[in-house]
């Protein structure tokens, strides 16, 4: 499978704990995106990387959230001191950025449940 | 906020064409129209995109009006597996934000 891969698929944790998700983009895609989706809503943009540089961040990305893409390949999204409102599906997407209108391709997400 | 308007739901008979409309009256010259769909518990799946010419691929056809203020996604022979939420999104290609802004989409139900 050469699509976007996300790990884990499901994460259940207690409020206040830290969690980290991983995203492996499609090979050779230099742009990587994180979105969050709550029940009944469309995905909402969180942040975007071009290679290892984080170029855009949403106001949704509070200081408890941090994303990295250290070598321009895989990316991690960490949430510190989780809260009930963090329960959501976290989606990763990637695109080939050499042509600016190339579509983003999504993984199947990590579903986070906060107890 | 999303720059597109879609009907909340539609029904289609299996084997018939599904025509999903989208209004984007404030679209600007360098903005593309993208269509995605999402099946429950999966990530959004890219379907097709276009600027001003009609586009066709193995999944669907995209018809964009001459004034570019609306478009229609056509699934030529809908199957039960096409039941999903379909999102129409407008995004620029030069500068500006890279983000996709999803609205609530259209819930398409294909009936046997």
Interface test with A, best of B100, B103, B104 (most A CBs within 10 A): B100
* B4/chain A closest Cα distance in angstroms: 13
Identify which of B17, B21, B29, B18 has the alpha carbon closest to the alpha carbon of residue B4. Answer: B21
pLDDT band at B94 (very low <50, low <70, confident <90, very high): low
Mean pLDDT by 10 residues, chain A (115 residues): 91 97 95 95 94 91 94 95 96 86 95 96
> What is the structure's pLDDT at A33?
96
B87 shares contact with chain A (CB less than 8 Å): yes
Characterize A35-67 residue by residue with b for buried, 16 or more Cβ atoms within 10 angstroms of its Cβ, and e for exposed: bbbeeeebbbbbbbbbeeebebebeebeeebeb
Q: In the predicted model, is pLDDT for residue B63 greater than 80?
A: yes
3-state secondary structure of A3: coil
Q: Establish if B49 touches chain A: CB-CB under 8 angstroms.
A: yes
Separation in Å, CA of A80 to nearest CA in chain B: 24
DSSP A53-90: EEEEE-TTS-TTEEEE-TTSS-EEEEE-S--GGG-EEE
């Amino acid at each position: 499978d050469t699509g976007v891969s996300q790990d884990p698929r499901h994460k259940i944790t207690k409020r206040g704990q830290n969690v980290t998700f991983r995203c492996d983009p499609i090979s050779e895609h230099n742009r990587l995106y994180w979105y969050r989706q709550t029940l009944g809503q469309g995905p909402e943009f969180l942040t975007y990387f071009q290679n290892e540089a984080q170029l855009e961040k949403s106001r949704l990305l509070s200081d408890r959230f941090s994303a990295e893409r250290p070598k321009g390949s895989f990316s991690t999204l960490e949430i510190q001191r989780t809260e009930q409102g963090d329960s959501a599906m976290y989606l990763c997407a990637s695109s080939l950025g050499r042509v600016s209108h190339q579509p983003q391709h999504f993984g199947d997400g990590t579903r986070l449940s906060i107890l | 906020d999303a720059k597109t308007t879609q009907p909340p739901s539609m029904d289609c008979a299996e084997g018939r064409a599904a025509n999903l409309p989208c209004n984007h009256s404030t679209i600007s010259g360098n903005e593309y129209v993208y269509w995605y769909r999402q099946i429950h518990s999966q990530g959004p799946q890219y379907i097709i995109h276009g600027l001003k010419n009609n586009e066709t691929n193995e999944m669907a056809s995209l018809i964009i009006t001459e004034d570019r203020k609306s478009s229609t996604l056509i699934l030529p022979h809908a199957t039960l597996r096409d039941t999903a939420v379909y999102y129409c999104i407008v995004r620029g290609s030069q500068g500006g934000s890279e983000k996709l802004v999803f609205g609530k989409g259209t819930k398409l139900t294909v009936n046997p």
